[in-house]
Amino acid sequence: MLKESDLYLPLKSYLEGQGYTVKGEIRHCDVVAVRGDELPVVVELKLSFNLSVVLQVVERLSLTPTVYVGIPLDTTILRTRRKPVIKLLRMLGLGLIVIDPKAGSVDVLLDPGEYKPRIVKRSQQRLLGEFSLRVGDPNTGGQAMRKGLMTAYRQQALNIGQYLQVHGASKPVVIAKAIDEPKALAILYRNVYGWFDKVSRGVYELSPKGVTEIPPWLERRQVGVESKPDEVGQAIVPE
């Protein structure tokens, strides 16, 4: 069975090849490497990657800014969550070394360094747009998503569905004017939830699915403000 100590010799050999003097188990650090007047390098050897590992390695940043996690090549998380793991370590200013004790090989996947997050403007605008257009606060933060969320788009579709419930088959232009929803035609045409049927040219009514699904959603809907908020973002995409 693989042990953390099995990772030590391949890593020691690799670091010595880089001109470091390497020693193990120095003041609770698994591996410490020193080269000339440079700041020391600390590597924590782990067989798996989890929150406890992250917390322990972050503590080592009080000793030196050059801290790595060293894990085996065949670690499950590298096969399933490689990119998120690297992103997390980059955000924390940590490095990642992968070690194959059988082959004696070492691969540095990430060097420690200062992280500057890149803001994706489009994603930010979509976030603010959804926040602005959603009426009230109909969802509980952290709730299970199996029943769906009340998004701004769903609220718009529900307003249209409610109008059709009361008035029957109607033209989009009439609906748009009656409920002050300029996107009525696009919502009816896309029919994301399958709630609408086109009965003739330019005329829509509730589908059997809409007749069944809209009433429970209307019960869930909570209206926190009466007036429609100003738009911040551009496109609102249903979940």
Q: Write down the CATH number for the domain with range 121-220.
A: 1.10.10.10
What was the pLDDT predicted at 164? 96
Distances (CA, A) of 230 to 90, 122, 185, 193: 37, 18, 20, 25
Q: Are 65 and 93 in contact (CB under 8 A)?
A: yes
Q: Which pair of structure tokens corresponds to residue 99?
A: 């070690």
pTM above 0.85, yes or no: no
CA angle 210, 199, 152 (to 5 degrees): 40
What was the pLDDT predicted at 102? 85
What was the pLDDT predicted at 229? 40
Q: Where in the chain is the domain with CATH 1.10.10.10?
A: 121-220
Q: Where in the chain is the domain with CATH 3.40.1350.10?
A: 4-110
What was the pLDDT predicted at 232? 37
What was the pLDDT predicted at 173? 95
What was the pLDDT predicted at 104? 86
Class of domain 4-110: alpha beta
What was the pLDDT predicted at 117? 63
What was the pLDDT predicted at 145? 62
Per-residue pLDDT of the chain (239 residues; tens, 9 = 90+): 888 888 999 999 999 999 999 988 888 899 999 999 998 999 999 988 889 899 999 999 988 999 999 999 877 777 788 889 999 999 999 999 999 988 888 999 999 987 666 777 888 788 788 878 877 777 766 666 666 888 899 999 999 999 999 999 999 999 999 999 999 999 999 999 999 999 999 999 999 999 999 998 988 775 433 334 443 333 334 44
